[in-house]
Amino acid sequence: MKRLYRNAQIASEDSSKLMHGDVLVEAGFIIGVAAEITGVTDAEVIDCTGRILLPSLFDIHVHAREPGQEQKENIASCAEAAINGGVTGFVMMPNTSPAIDNAGVVRTLLESARSTRIGASLYTSGAITKGRKGEELAGIAGMKAAGAVMLTDDGFPVDNPQVLRRAMEYARDFDIPLSSHCEVKELSGKGCMHEGKVSYALGLPGIPSISEEICISRDIRLAEYTGVHLNIQHVTTAEGMGTIKRAKDRGIRVTCEIAPHHLMFNHEDIGDYDTNYKMNPPLRTKEDNALLLQGLKDGWFDVIATDHAPHTPFEKNQDFASAPFGITGLETALTSLYDAFISKDILDWGLIVKRYSAEPRRLMKLAPVPIKEGGIADFILFNPGRTTTFTREFMKSKSFNTPFLNKTLQGMVERVIYRGEELLAR
């Protein structure tokens, strides 16, 4: 069956401007892209007037919670949440119960993933250390052979630099990235939010910015020594971003992520002890927001990644200090980025395509999915003229620990096309 997406505004990573045109799809592929496609009489026509057509998104930092924490999320619900937000591929994190630290768990997870509607584009990382305890290396060779595409102890740093050095050498030799959660646990202590004037006013223990920044510096030095591809996860401070920028300028193989919530929110949003604003690393300051946003615009960040971290209402309804870190993000990321930045001409669609579609795939050694003739039909139709209210009924994740719960934002992911199949149409 042919589908003709007519009169769309087509986004590309190569341009900040949108191209007006039609897109013709058949048998999973894009068979035509032009300003106007005529003479097609056997296609379903979809009017895209006023809509943005952009390549589907890819997220390299997702907590699907399977195995062992399926009350929060499982791979199937995580995949549906991803589709709901325009994401058609992601990489799962290994902080599960048990941890993803051996080939058997990797194989089991990938087999489970294949049964979802986007199963061919779901991947998993493997833990750096057994049980993510930071003491003994996990079965890296076996996990790589079973299909793991990244190493990380996400949620924890690897405290022992010698253990991390050896892991980096393995990752280098197996040619896979090692992603680092940067934190000095002794400095973070029992902190539950950014250390500063707001934590003092609320009487909550704080996590100082140096906890993240010192670990970023250490891990970069180890990466420089070993030659590994190091990916720094969820950067939150301008100083940490600057350290990464200087390392890149020296030719060190380092990439880094920015999460949407670290661009939009800061520690002042926690004012009423709302645990939906509790995450690790924590929300920092307005000044950090502004500088991180400028860093994204200037190309200092390689990818946008949500750190999608579902938790049950029971867990999040505890007092702020006791509630777990983390918020969901797969379903809200694109719409919130549009509402906060694109609609105000602060960011453009080309940047979103580059940093949340093309570059994440490249980082995982996958081909991007540009909207061009001969390419795979893997794209989103986004309607800036509609609004989205993120109710519990709207969201497909098992959990809804998000600052956007019951809030209405401008824009809507209207259609999701994956390998030519329409997975979502509103």
Strand-strand pairing, 379-389 and 408-418: antiparallel
Instruction: Please give the DSSP secondary-structure letter assigned to residue 383.
Output: E
Question: Measured over all CA atoms, what is the biggest interatomic distance in the chain, rounded to whole angstroms?
Answer: 69
Considering 219, 288, 307, 378, which one is annotated as catalytic?
Answer: 307
Q: 402 and 329 in contact (C-beta within 8 Å)? A: yes
Structure tokens at 177: 């990235």
CA–CA separation, 113 and 115 (whole Å): 5
Of 73, 59, 182, residue with least CA distance to 125: 59
Is residue 158 within 8 A of residue 167, CB to CB? The reply is yes
Cβ atoms within 10 Å of 327's Cβ, excluding its own = 28
For residue 146 the two structure tokens come to 């079973």
CB 72 within 8 A of CB 65: yes
Spatial separation of the C-alpha atoms in residues 148 and 365, rounded to whole Å: 12
Task: State yes or no: is 307 an active-site residue.
Answer: yes
- Reference 301, options 254, 348, 339; nearest CA is 254
The set of catalytic residues is 307
